[in-house]
Amino acid sequence: MKMAKVSSLLRIPKYRSFVVIPVTILQTSAAVTNHRPKSRRLCCSVWDSVLNFHRKNNSRAFTSDSPDSLAVTSTLSTPSHKRHEEYGRLLPCPAENVLPRNIEHLVVKEGGPVLDFITKALDLPPLYVADLIHFGAVYYALVCPKPPSTATMEEIRLYKEFTNPSLLRKRPSLKGKTLREAQNTFRITCVDEFVEAGTYVRVHVRPKRFPRCYEIDWKSRIIAVTESYVVLNKPAGTSVGGTTDNIEETCANFATRALKLTTPLKTTHQIDNCTEGCVVLARTKDYCSVFHRMIREKKVKKLYLALAAAYVPPGIMTHYMRPFRKAPKIISQDFIPGWNLCQLEVLECRKVPWPNASIEEENGIQDLNWPNKEFAFECKINLLTGRTHQIRAQLAACGAPIVGDSMYMPAVIAELVGPAKLKKQFESDSAIEEWAAKHGKEPGVSIGLQASQISWDEDEGQHHLYQAGPPWWTQ
């Protein structure tokens, strides 16, 4: 009966194809339905077995939108039956990411299987927790990291209690490790994995989803298949190798299934989720290492087509990017010590019609109210350094943001409206943050950017060159 419930999820209404649920999910579901704690002595009731900075009636937890940016927020107690309706299964995939992503930070008080621990600590259905583990949305560290500055005195006291040197010395798993090493996080991959007392567990309760994965005819997106690699014309609105909280809905996984390969394809390089075009996926670990080495040695050449909202003069463009992991990426024309060099070469820039509303809607392009939509400008770009968001940030810095780029175009529009107020003088952290606040959110699906061509020369003298075909704005 329970297995019938799983199979009933196979069909996704409103999508052009059926969801291919991997065998591992079905196996995991079967394992969960038969799951029993390995040791009743080690798996007690929820409030006896978990220290999660919660209180049973007045619930209070470390929650955040990012593992690096924690904030203490109150959480309301929700009846179990309501929570179990709200958290059913991760499949079928919702059509949109409408619910906010949130993260729960827990510490184990008494050891036991991780699935039991999370199920009880967060009052979530076991199958939902099993899905989270399968999606790669659960992490652990042997020792809890330091709580945020907003933590309460009680939470700080509990942290100190569980990181007390005398207590840590009694844990065999920490032998030979420094505190910093013990606080490194690792992904949990098995529902039966045992978590000992004092272990820190991070649960991404609502992972970022990629509904477009289920709409694509993946076989039609394959450009080339060789013994060593596969070249994919990546669709916009998808992730090459996954996110921190979702390693299931990826180009690598769906291409593997489309080609019916027995060994999963491996990611060799990344392009933004909102970018389409050429991506190389390795078929073996050895070739993955070979391709990484060629990238480091700058033997891999990438050409992009960018649909800019304004003219971009041909030539080499140089900026410096703030070494900050989060977007938006802030760049400066002036050299700033410690900032990363960004260079690209605009090979040509030609005027083209701005895509009409129906084409934009079909491809998930947001209307951002750019003042002049009569013409756009298609730029052919040779990427000289490969920074995250580099083309998007550099073109925006020149006043020519990419069409549909909801993160960088709003800042350019704001600058056009009041250039005197928004001079980008990055002389202080507050000035940088003020400029970053002018930016918008990451695009939902697509922007006018395509990785149109990739080429490389191998040591044996073999030359490889692949093209993605026409970009969406010309179809």
What is the structure's pLDDT at 419? 54
Each residue's pLDDT tens digit, 156-192: 888 888 899 998 999 999 999 999 999 999 999 999 9
**pLDDT given for residue 162 in this prediction:** 87
Question: Hey, where are the domains in the chain?
Answer: 2-204, 213-297, 304-436
Give CA 231 to chain center in angstroms. 21
Q: Give the per-residue pLDDT at 351.
A: 97
Asked whether 366 and 407 are in contact (CB, 8 A), the reply is: no
327-378 residue pLDDT tens: 999 999 999 999 999 999 999 999 999 999 999 999 999 999 999 999 999 9
Torsion of the alpha carbons at 137, 138, 144 and 145, rounded to the nearest 10: -10
Q: Give me the residue label for tokens 């996704």.
A: 12
Which homologous superfamily does the CATH classification assign to the domain defined by 213-297? Pseudouridine synthase (3.30.2350.10)
Kindly state the tokens that stand for 190.
């098995």
Pairing type for strands 229-234 and 222-225 reads antiparallel
- Which residue in this structure is represented by tokens 């992991």? 325
| Joined tokens for residue 474 | 């010309």
Q: How far is residue 52's CA from residue 205's CA, in Å, rounded to a whole number?
A: 14
The letter for the amino acid at 153 is: M
pLDDT for res 209:
94
pLDDT, one tens digit per residue, over 225-262 is 999 999 999 999 999 999 999 999 999 999 999 999 99
- Name which of 387, 439, 377 is nearest 411 in CA terms: 439
* Residue carrying the six token digits 């390969």: 261
CA–CA dist 94, 104 (Å, integer): 21
Quote the pLDDT of residue 400. Answer: 97
Neighbouring residues of 135: CB distance < 8 A, sequence distance ≥ 6: 90, 207, 245, 246, 247, 248, 249
Name the token pair of 106: 């827990």
Structure tokens at 347: 């090979």
pLDDT < 70 regions, the chain: 1-86, 98, 418-427
CA 15 to chain centre: 23
393: left (phi over 0), alpha (psi -120 to 50) or beta: alpha
Which of 224, 238, 243, 236 has the alpha carbon at shortest distance from 281?
Answer: 224
Q: Share the mean pLDDT of the chain.
A: 83
Give the pLDDT score at 37: 41
- What does the pLDDT read at residue 8? 25
Residue 467: HSE in the Cβ half-sphere, 13 Å Cα cutoff? 4
Compute φ and ψ for 386, nearest 5 degrees: -110, 65
User: If we measure between CA atoms, which residue out of 72, 154, 152 comes closest to residue 105?
Assistant: 72
Task: Give the active site residues.
Answer: 272
201-to-50, 52, 362, 367 alpha-carbon distances in Å: 11, 9, 41, 40
